[in-house]
Amino acid sequence: MMELNDFNAVRDALRELGLKQGFELGDEEAINKFNDEVPFDSRWICYYADDWNEKLEERLHDFFENMRDYQDTMAKEDIKSASHSFLLAVICAGSLRSFFESIEKDMDKLLAGEHQTTDFQWPQFDNE
């Protein structure tokens, strides 16, 4: 069973679903070749060979570090440094948003079965 805070388990679950649909998301060479041949909005976004836990931890660390720097410099009334740290925190927040948006976009592709080459089918639900 997947740990609720384990993004590598999420990555692996998406890779497994990709395999059911006929492609290996962890094969960076094949994915890069595929991405070169399709429109930008159809590309796979996540890097499935990366350590997702580590990537998220790094982004959270950077965000919190910049917010701490912001608070420290505001307390010292160093507004110039505070604004710089705050700007960096905003950039880090965008990086965190991007991390989750990338996962969401790839999950949408898997849900729609956009690129599948197998006969894998999600169950169809009627409107009863």
Give the span between the Cα atoms of 112 and 75, in whole angstroms: 50
For residue 101, give both structure tokens.
Answer: 């948006």
Question: 51: pLDDT confidence band, cut at 50, 70 and 90?
Answer: very high
The answer to whether 45 and 102 have CB atoms below 8 angstroms apart is yes
**pLDDT at 126 exceeding the cut of 70:** no
Distance of CA 99 to the CA centre of its chain: 3
**pLDDT at 55 exceeding the cut of 60:** yes
If you average pLDDT over residues 62-89, what whole number do you get? 98
E strands present in 38-117: none
pTM as predicted: 0.87
| Tens-digit pLDDT profile for residues 87-103 | 999 999 999 999 999 99
H-type helices in 1-126, by residue range? 7-20, 28-37, 52-75, 79-112
